[in-house]
Amino acid sequence: MKKISLTLIGLYLLFLQGYSQVTEHYTNIFQAKPLKLEEINLVTSYYSQNGTHSAVTGGGSGYIGTQYMDGSEKLTDFANMLELKLVGYGETGLKHTILAGLGVDHHTAASQKWISKTGASSPDGNRVYPSINWTVENEEKGTEFGLGTYYSHEYNYSSIALDGHYGFKNKIGGEFSAKVSAYFDQVKLIYPSELIPAVASNGITPYDVNIITTNASRGSGGTIYDLGGSEKASIPTSPRNTFTSSFTYSQVINKSVQTSLLFDIVKQDGWLGLPFHRVVFKDGSEKIENLPHSRLKIPLGARLNYFIGDNLIVRTYYRFYTDDWGLVSHTASIELPYKFTPFFSISPFYRFYTQTATKYFAKRGEHNVSDTYFTSNYSSSAFNSNYFGLGMRTAPPGGIKDTYMSALEIRYGHYSQSTDLNSNVISLHFTFK
């Protein structure tokens, strides 16, 4: 009898334990979890460039008045971006993800000194750009919704952006997402020093030349005047707005292949050139570049990634682009990550790009003074470019050397344009978990 009682008690406790585990498991699924830091990403990059067609000097070397200006495009940029990823679950089981980022860049540009005709302008500058994105995902239904905002500031340019996106998965391995973004930028109207319009009534210039052309006087005072001769608090700015609608459809083809189609519509309006880009005309006269105040861009892209065998991945990308300024371009790239182990890979890559010129581009000294729109910025010219390099990625299961660093990527690339522009870039990406 005693044995039977003990057996029954034992069985009861077993059931109790079993049910209590089920109950606990059930409540765990829907239990709200506060936001928790899941991942930290740090991307640091060094970019170095050389070329001979600076838009600041009118698209090349030559005289502006009696001053000879070299058209050097020598530039370095040291960029760093930190991003924190926080994940949590709400009471209804929805997954919340917050991405908070902060970027800081420092650049030096040889061309920048020629904003002043004497070559006295500061050749360097900084950019700071924080961002935050919030996404809510219903993992059960396969839908997600998100909002984001972004800010960027540098001495002559600032930008604030808002975006929203919605996405859903279908039952055949497809995923659709749509995103709308709006960028509200302000271009500071810094003219080449000899082209600052003078105010005839009192002989002063709209803003003090020194405040914008020498490093020492940046932000340290000086007097700025508007065209009527009244004192102003800062150099005037002009707006540039960009509205983008992006649509992406991705599809799993089989266990080793997936593809996606990308389609953007980009509408820009406002000051689309830069006020310190010179244009030199056939007769030797000079003005700042002048471009239409509206531009419609339509890029259409496709990706196809294929995991071949156990070691090789083929990543391919193609983009067709057209806009209402007459520019048509094609971009094609291939990257071949080869996995020496599941946690270590080497990736050679190659990218080819070609474009036609916009309707408003001509080389230095080739524009007619009667032209309505004109630029000698070589990013609007016809050219081809090649970009190739090598990447390395390691992500061992226990972290790198038993630290919180879970992955490390290094990537180097060399870029050459048929306009004589050459550049090198090296980037490092650290992931901490």
Partner 1 sequence: MKKNYLFFTGLLTMFFASSCETVREYQKNRLNDAEMALNARRVEKNELNFQSYKEGAAGANGGKTGGGCGCN
Cα dist from 362 to 60, 175, 430, whole Å: 12, 44, 43
Structure-token pair, residue 313? 């991945």
Candidates 30-38, 88-96, 220-228, 298-306; binding stretch for partner 1 (CB under 8 A): 298-306
Contact between 144 and partner 1 per CB under 8 A: no
Structure-token pair, residue 25? 């498991």
Structure-token pair, residue 403? 């630290």
Asked whether the beta carbons of 269 and 187 are under 8 A apart, the reply is: no
Sign of the alpha-carbon dihedral angle for 413, 326, 161, 226: positive
Q: How many Cα atoms occupy the beta-carbon half-sphere of 132 within 13 Å?
A: 3
Residues 79-138 that bind partner 1 (CB under 8 A): 79, 81, 83, 107, 109, 111-112, 127
User: How many Å apart are CA 259 and CA 262, to the nearest integer?
Assistant: 10
Asked whether the beta carbons of 57 and 110 are under 8 A apart, the reply is: no
Contact between 393 and partner 1 per CB under 8 A: yes
Tell me whether residue 81 or residue 224 sits nearer to partner 1 (CB atom): 81
How many beta carbons lie within 10 A of that of residue 211, not counting itself? Answer: 18
Residues 258-287 that bind partner 1 (CB under 8 A): 258-260, 262-264, 266, 268, 274, 276
* DSSP-based helix, strand, coil % in the chain, nearest 5: 10, 55, 30
User: How many Å apart are CA 360 and CA 382, to the nearest integer?
Assistant: 12
What are the phi and psi torsion angles at 376 (to 5°)?
Answer: -120, 30
**Rounded to the nearest whole angstrom, what is the least distance from the CB of residue 335 to partner 1 in the complex?**
8
**Rounded to the nearest whole angstrom, what is the least distance from the CB of residue 252 to partner 1 in the complex?**
5
Contact between 347 and partner 1 per CB under 8 A: yes
Candidates 411, 416, 420, 432; binder of partner 1 (CB under 8 A) is: 411
Tell me whether residue 227 or residue 288 sits nearer to partner 1 (CB atom): 288
Candidates 305, 352, 388, 399; binder of partner 1 (CB under 8 A) is: 305
Tell me whether residue 225 or residue 350 sits nearer to partner 1 (CB atom): 350
Interface with partner 1: number of residues (CB under 8 A): 94
Residues 306-345 that bind partner 1 (CB under 8 A): 307, 313, 315, 317, 319, 321, 323, 327, 329, 331, 337, 345
Residues 356-385 that bind partner 1 (CB under 8 A): 358, 379-380, 385
Residue among 135, 139, 136 nearest 148 (CA): 135
Residues 53-82 that bind partner 1 (CB under 8 A): 54, 56, 73, 75, 77, 79, 81
Contact between 181 and partner 1 per CB under 8 A: yes
**Rounded to the nearest whole angstrom, what is the least distance from the CB of residue 365 to partner 1 in the complex?**
21
Alpha helices in 193-321 (DSSP H): 209-213
**Rounded to the nearest whole angstrom, what is the least distance from the CB of residue 28 to partner 1 in the complex?**
20
